[in-house]
Amino acid sequence: MRLALAALGVLVLAGCYRLSTPPAVAEGVAVRIISNQGRLPRAQADLQAEVPRALARNLGWHINPASATAHLDLTIEEDIIDVTARDSRGVPVQWQVRLRGTCLFASRQATLVGRFTGAGYYTSQLDEPEGVRTAAQEAAKDIVAWIEANEARFSPAPPALVAPAEPAAPEATPTL
C-alpha cells in the first residue's frame, strides 16, 4: 500500500516540473482582443484577464501593455452554448460554454499563428459567469500549451545592448 502511494506521489510531482525552460521573451508583452464575434459579453473581459495571468504565471513573461513591443492578438471567433444534461422531464439542467478563436503572437524573436479553445460548465443563470470564466481559463491554458509547443520556433533572446569599449591607449615606446 505504501509503495502504491509513493508511486502515485512521484507521478503527481513529476507532472509539476518542466523538462525544459519555457520560451523566453526579452520584451514586454501586450495581450489584445482584436475581434469578438461571440455573443457572451463576459467572454472578452474574462479572456483579457486570464491570458496575461497564465502567461505570467506559467511562462514567466512580463505583461506590460503600456510599453510592450511584443503582442499576442486574440480573435474570439465564436462562443457556443450547448445543453449537456437534462432532468427526467427533459428540462435542461447543465450547459457548456465553449470559446474558440485564433491567436497571433509577434515579437522580435518569433511570429506564431494558432488556434485556441476552452470550455466551462454551469447549472444556472447565477453561475453562468463562473462557467464563462472557466472557459476563459481553459482557453488561456490552451494558449500557453500552444506557445510551449512552438518553443523551437523562438530565436534566442537578442543580447543586451552594451556600449562599445573605449580603445586601449597605445603603449609608450621606450626611447634610447
Taking alpha carbons only, the member of 71, 74, 65 closest to residue 37 is 74
Q: What tens digit of pLDDT does each residue of 73-122 get?
A: 999 999 999 999 999 999 999 999 999 999 999 998 889 999 999 999 99
pLDDT at 23: 74
What pLDDT, on the 0 to 100 scale, is given for residue 65?
85
- The confidence score (pLDDT) of residue 93 equals 95
Domains and CATH numbers, the chain: 23-153 (3.30.160.150)
Query: At residue 125, does pLDDT exceed 60?
Result: yes
pLDDT surpassing 50 at residue 170: yes
pLDDT over 70 (residue 13): no
Structure confidence at residue 22 (pLDDT): 65
User: Distance of CA 39 to CAs 72, 76, 101, Å?
Assistant: 22, 10, 13
- Report, as an integer, the average pLDDT of 27-53: 94
Cα–Cα distance, 123 to 125 (Å, whole number): 7
Any bridge partners for residue 111, and if so which? 106
pLDDT at site 41: 86
Alpha carbons 78 and 55: distance in angstroms, whole number: 22
Contacts of 83 (CB under 8 A, 6+ apart): 92, 94, 95
111-34-143-58 Cα dihedral, nearest 10 degrees: 90
**What would the pLDDT profile of 142-169 be if each residue is shown by its tens digit?**
999 999 999 888 766 555 544 555 555 5
